[in-house]
Structure 1
Amino acid sequence: MSTARALTGAVLLDLAVSPLFAWDVVTGVLGRELGVGHAVLAGVFSVGLLAFMLGVLLGGRAADAVAPRRLALVALAGTVLGLLGSAAASSVVVLFLTFGVLVGGSTGLGYATAVRVAGTVASGRGLALGLVVSAYAAGTAVLAPVVSSLVGAVGRAATFVVLAAALGVLLAVAAVLVPGERPARTTREKARATRPVVALWLAFGLGSAPGLAAFAQAGNLSGAAVALAVALLNVGNFAGRLVAGPLSDRVGRRAALHANSGLLVLACVPLATGATGPVALVALLLLGTQYGALSALIPAATSDVVPPERFGTTYGRVFTGWGVAGLVAPVTAAGVAGLVGYGVVYAGFLGLAALSWACVAAYAR
C-alpha cells in the first residue's frame, strides 16, 4: 500500500475521532432535558478525557501489533455505538457510559492508530504527523458549530444520530485506506530509550498545561468575547500543528522544541502581567500555536528515539503526560484564579514553562 494512501486514511481517521471536544455545545440542552447541573455534565467530559487518554495508551500498544484497519473498525464501532447510546440516553449515568467511556475510549484508540501510521513512515515524519494531528484540531473546530446548529434545529437525540451516521461513514472510508496488514518488524528491538522518553513525557505535560487551562477559561483571560478568544486559540492550535511538524523536518526536532519552549514563555508573559484586550488576544493566539505545535513535535521527537516496532507503545505512554495535564490544569487554574486571579496563575505557569524547557534540554542531550 502506498504511503500517500495510508497517510490519507490516517488524516481522515483523526478527522473523524474528534467529537469529544464538542461536548460543551450540547451540555445546555442536556441539562434542561435531564435536570442536572453543569458540574455533573462536566464530569462526563472528564471521564471522556480519561477514557481518551487510556484509549491512546492501550491503543498505541495495540497499534504496534495489530493491523491499522482492524483498529480503525473497532474505533468505528465504538464511536457509532457511543453516539447512538448518547442519543437514546435518559439519564446522566448512561451518558457517563456511552459518551464518556465508549466515545472517549474509542476515539482515543482511533487517534493512537492514526498517529502510529504517520509516525512510522519512512521519511518526512514531521510532515506526516503535522497533517494527522492538525486533522484532529480541524475536526473539533468544524464539529462544534455544526453540532450547535443541529441541536437548535433538530434537538439533542437527532443530533447524535446524525453525528453517528456522518462519522461512521468517514471512519469506514479511513479504514479502507489505512493498511490492512500487521505492522512489519524490520529491525531488532533496541534497548528502551528511557531518559529521552521521560523528558518528553514531562515536556508534554508541563508544556501543554497553560494552553489547556486557556481553552477552558479563554474569555476570563482576555477580557473579550469568549467566542473570539476561543476562535483565536483554535486558529493557533491548528496552525501550530500543521506548520511545526514539517518545519522540524528541516531545522531538526531539538531546535523546533527549543523554539516552542521560547514561544510558551512569550505567550505567558502578557497573561501573567494581567494584559487584556488586543494584547491578551494576541497572547492567546500565540499560546494556541505553541500548544498545537507541541502536539505535533512530541510524537515526532518520540519517533526519533525509539524503533518503529515500539513507537505506538512508547507514544501512548508519553501521551499520558498530556492526559494528566488535561485533567489537572484547567480545574486547578480555575480554582486558584478564583482566589488570586489569572495573572498569578500564569505567573506560576511561567515556572512550568521553564521546567518544560529544562526537559526539552534534557531530551536534546
Structure 2
Amino acid sequence: MAMAACLVLTFGMGALHAFSALMEPIEQATGAGRLAVSLVYSAALLSLTAAVFFGHKLYRRFNASSLVLLAAALPILGIPLTLTGTWAGWIVGYGLLFGFASGAGYGFALHSASFAVPAHRRGLAIGATTAFYGLGAFGFSLLYPALLAALGLAAGYAASTIIVAGLASVSATLFFASRLTTNVSIDEPNAAGSSGGLLRLWLGYGMGAFAGLLVLGHAVPIILASGNSTSAAIAGLAMVSLGNAMAGLCAGLIADRFGSRRPLVVVATISAIALAGLTYTSDPQTTVALIGTVGATYGAFIALYPLLVSTWSGADRAAWAYGRVFTAWGLAGVAAQPVAGWLYEVTGQYYVALTIACLFSLGAAAIIAFVGQDRNEAFERVLGES
C-alpha cells in the first residue's frame, strides 16, 4: 500500500513537467515573451530543487499523510495567483508553489520507496517511482491541451490542479493506511571527510543530467532540423517520454541484481555514443532513434542515481545526501536548455551543443566509475561521532 502511495503521488506531481503545453497559452494571456514565460518553469525547477534539498528536515517534522497533504495544498493555493493573468502570478503560483510541492512530493516518494519494500527490491521501487514521475509529465502533457481547449487557460489549469491535488490526497490516504515508518537519522553533519565523495556524486549527477536535459529540451527542433515533419517530431517526443519511463523501470530491476554504479557507467557511456552519433547524422530516422536512445538512457540515469547515493550514504541518511546531490540536477535543469538555445543562435546548428553534451556524458561515466559502491568510510566516522 505504501508503494502504491508513492506511485500515485509522483504521477500527480509529474504534471509540473508538462509545462511546455502551457507556454503559448500563458504567453497569450499575460502578453509576456517566450523568455519571460520560460522563467516560470525555471522558477519551478529552482523551487523543486529547494524542496528536495530541505527534504530531510520536512520528513522528520511531518508524518507522511501531513506532508503529502501539504504538497496537495500548495498548488491549490497558487490557483488564485494564476487567475490574475499576470506573469508574476504564474511565477509565484506555478513556479514557486507548485514547484515546491512537486519537489516535496517527489523527494518524499523516493525516500519512502526505500522503506516500503525489502532491500533486495529497492532498485525496482525507486525505478518505478521515478518512472511514474515521468509518466505523469507525459499524461498531463496530453490532458492540459484537452482541458485548455474546453475550458480556457484559467479554468483548465485550475481543473488540472484540482486533479493533481486529488491524486495527492489519495496518496495521503494510502500512506495513512499503510502506517509506513521511515528513518531520517541525520540533519547536517560536518562531514568534511566525506566531502570528496559527495562532490564526485554531485559532479557525476550534474554532468549526466545536463547532457540528457540539453537534448530532451530541444528534441523537437533537433528532429525537425534533420528533415522530419512536425507530426513525426511530436510522435518522436511522445516515444521519448514513454521510453524514458520504461527505462527507469528496467534500470531498477537491473540495479537489484547488479548494483547501481556499473549500470550507471554503462548508461552514461551509451548516452555519449548516441550523442556522438547525433553530431554526425542527418538522416531523419536515425536522428529519432538516437534521441530516443538519449531519452531512455536519461530515464535510466535518474532512476539509478538515487540508488547510488543511498548505497554510498546508507538508506537512513540518503535523504540528506540526495538533497545535496540533487542541487546538481537543479543547476543542470536551469542551464541546459538556455545554453543549447544560445549555442544554436550563435552557430545556426546543434553540433556544438551536442558535442558538449557528449563530453559531459563521458565525464559523468568517468566520475561515477570512481565513486565507491560501499559506504564512504570517512562519512561513517563522522556519523559515528555525531
The number of residue pairs the alignment matches comes to 359
1:316 corresponds to which residue?
A: 323
The answer on 1:336 being equivalent to 2:316 is: no
Question: 1:64 & 1:281 partners in 2: Cα distance?
Answer: 45
1:147-182 Cα shifts (integer Å, max 9, x gaps)? 111111110111122112211211111011225566
Q: Is the 8 A contact 2:10 2:133 kept in 1?
A: yes
Name the SS for the 2:371 alignment partner: helix
Larger CA deviation: 102-111 vs 309-318: 309-318
Q: State the Cα distance separating 1:140 from its structure 2 match.
A: 0.5
Aligned to 1:358: 366
Give the superposition deviation at 1:33.
Answer: 2.2
Alignment correspondent of 1:102: 97
The answer to whether the Cα contact below 8 Å between 1:45 and 1:100 also exists between their aligned partners in 2 is: yes
CA contact (8 A) 1:235 1:285 kept: no
Distance 1:60 1:153 in 2: 41
Q: Aligned partner of 2:282: which letter?
A: A
The one of 5, 11, 14 equivalent to 2:10 is: 14
Matched-pair identity in % = 25
Query: Is residue 250 of structure 1 aligned with residue 257 of structure 2?
Result: yes
For 2:219, the equivalent position in structure 1 comes to 218
8 Å contact from structure 1 (residues 119, 311) kept in 2: no
Q: CA deviation at 1:95?
A: 1.1
* Cα separation, 2, equivalents of 1:324 and 1:260: 21
**Structure 1: runs of 5 or more not aligned:** none
For residues 71-108 of structure 1, the C-alpha deviation after alignment (integer angstroms, 9 at most, x for no partner) is 1111011122224532x223111111111111111111
- Sort the Cα spacing of 1:184 and 1:252 in 2 relative to 1 into closer, same or farther, 3 A: closer
The structural deviation recorded for 1:276 is 3.7
Q: Does 1:130 align with 2:138?
A: no
Q: How does 1:26-37 map to 2 (within 5 A)?
A: 26-37=22-33
Question: Structure 2 length as normaliser, TM-score?
Answer: 0.87
Distance in 2, Cα, partners of 1:116 & 1:318: 14
Structure 2 residue aligned with 1:67 = 63
**Contact kept? 1:67, 1:181, Cα under 8 Å:** no
- Note if contact 1:120-1:311 (Cα within 8 Å) is conserved in structure 2: no
Structure 2, unaligned runs of 5 or more: 374-386
- Mark the CA change 1:44 to 1:111 in structure 2 (over 3 Å): closer, same or farther: same
Corresponding residue of 1:172: 169
Partner of 1:151: 148
2:378 corresponds to which residue? none
Check conservation: 1:64, 1:312, Cα contact below 8 A: no
Tell me which amino acid in the other structure corresponds to 2:304.
Answer: L
Show the counterpart of 1:265. Answer: 272
Query: How far, CA to CA, are the matches of 1:285 and 1:364 in structure 2?
Result: 30
Aligned partners of 1:311, 1:242: CA distance in 2, in Å?
20
Q: How many Å separate the matches in 2 of 1:185 and 1:313?
A: 8
Q: Structure 1 residues 362 and 96, CA, compared in 2 at 3 Å: closer, same or farther? A: same
Where does structure 1 differ by over 6 angstroms across 4 or more consecutive aligned residues?
none
CA distance in 2, matches of 1:184, 1:247: 26
Q: Aligned partners of 1:185 and 1:271: how far apart in 2?
A: 43
In 2, distance between residues paired with 1:184 and 1:39? 42
Deviates more, 1:176-185 or 1:235-244: 176-185
Pairing 1:183–2:198 present: no
Q: What amino acid sits opposite 2:208 in the alignment? A: G
SS at match of 1:48: helix
Structure 1 CA distance for aligned equivalents of residues 75 and 181 of structure 2:
23
The alpha carbon displacement at 1:228 in A equals 2.5
SS in 2 for 1:178: helix
**Greater shift in the superposed pair: 35-44 or 288-297:** 35-44
2:295 is equivalent to residue 288 of structure 1: yes
**Shift in Å, 1:39:** 1.6
Q: What letter corresponds to residue 176 of structure 1 in structure 2? A: T
Per-residue deviation, residues 242-288 of structure 1 (Å, max 9, x unmatched): 11011111122122112112211121111121434011111111100
The amino acid that maps onto 2:345 is G
Query: What's the offset of the Cα at 1:186?
Result: 8.2
Q: Using a 3 Å threshold, how does the CA distance of structure 1 residues 276 and 119 change in structure 2: closer, same or farther?
A: farther
CA contact (8 A) 2:12 2:167 kept: yes
Q: 1:102 corresponds to which letter in structure 2? A: L
Per the normalisation by structure 1, the TM-score is 0.92
Does structure 1 retain, via aligned residues, the 8 Å contact 2:147–2:157? no
Between 1:304-313 and 1:243-252, the stretch displaced more is: 304-313
TM-aligned CA deviation for residue 327 of structure 1: 0.8
Deviation at 1:289, TM superposition (A): 0.6
Aligned counterparts of 1:49 and 1:176: Cα–Cα separation in 2: 27
What secondary structure is seen at the aligned counterpart in 1 of 2:282? coil
More displaced, 194-203 or 164-173? 194-203
What is the aligned partner in structure 2 of residue 112 from structure 1? Answer: 107
Deviation at 1:198, TM superposition (A): 2.3
